[in-house]
Amino acid sequence: MLGKPVPDLSLTATGHGFKLSDLKGQPFVLYFYPKDSTPGCTTEAQQFRDLYPKFKRAGIAVFGVSRDSVKSHENFKAKQNLPFELVSDPDEKLCAEFGVMKLKNMYGKKVRGIERSTFVIDAKGVLRHEWRGVKVPGHAQEVLDFVKAL
């Protein structure tokens, strides 16, 4: 998928609808995370929140994506004071397009869930970079460093 245009999908998000084609003309970051209000996902969201002014100055929009409901996203966004929108993907449309659904081990059981992943899409709607199996510490800074160099 790298170097190829991302498909146009419409989903719901906090504050409004979310349509990939509406973002043409502006580079953006999509970061996929497993679940609202869990420790790793909260830390990741806080790191993107804390660096958000720098993303904004660089002209880069940021969106978090998980399978949680818009209501769950709104609560998480309010509690963590997130300045960016969270996209709800309960039908896994966006997750499928980006191939982030994986079988994971949770307490010895195999469960299907989102593999923490981040994607950078340029102003023309082309996928420019991806990180899969993300480790949270320092990741948002790594993404920021990459997009500043775009």
Active site residues: 41
In a domain, 4, yes or no: no
In a domain, 2, yes or no: no
In a domain, 95, yes or no: yes
State residue 57's pLDDT score.
Answer: 96
pLDDT tens for the chain, 150 residues: list them: 789 999 899 999 998 889 998 998 999 999 999 999 999 999 999 999 999 999 999 999 999 999 999 999 999 999 999 999 999 999 999 999 999 999 888 788 888 899 999 999 999 999 999 999 999 999 999 999 999 988
Give residue 109's domain range.
10-16+24-148
In a domain, 75, yes or no: yes
Q: Which residues contact 38 (CB under 8 A, 6 or more apart)?
A: none
